[in-house]
Amino acid sequence: MRTNSVIISVLGKIKDIMTGKYGSLIRFSLACLAIFLILWLLGPGNTFISWIQASAEISAMEKQIEDYKAQTKALDARIEDLTTNRDSLERFARENFHFAAPGEDVYIIE
């Protein structure tokens, strides 16, 4: 019951302020504040919504950068393997470019 009486007294004080000597100034200030907040949230240009969209786009691009770094690391490892291991280079050439040793027949099945 105590919270109800506190709420009622606070609402009474707010009502007294709004209807008091400076009530019209306070209502005008609140209206200006409401208009400013609406324009800031929904208006054209640099708004809160565009900030959220930019943040989401930045996160997506950072994830894409990490994916590219992982792909680059895998390709570097593949290049290192192909330049140092002759058997893997030969297998790569046979699989991707259909190379064959002299006297061998190559059958391509697609």
Structural domain boundaries of the chain? Answer: 1-43, 45-99
Q: How many CB atoms lie within 10 A of CB 18?
A: 13
Q: How many CB atoms lie within 10 A of CB 43?
A: 14
Residue 2 has pLDDT above 90, yes or no: no
- Rounded Cα distance between 8 and 91, Å, is 84
Q: Is 105 helix (H, G, I), strand (E, B) or coil?
A: coil
Tens-place pLDDT, residues 66-93? 999 999 999 999 999 988 988 888 888 8
Tens-place pLDDT, residues 31-62? 999 998 888 777 777 777 788 899 999 999 99
- Rounded Cα distance between 2 and 75, Å, is 70
Question: Contact 88/82 with Cβ under 8 angstroms?
Answer: yes
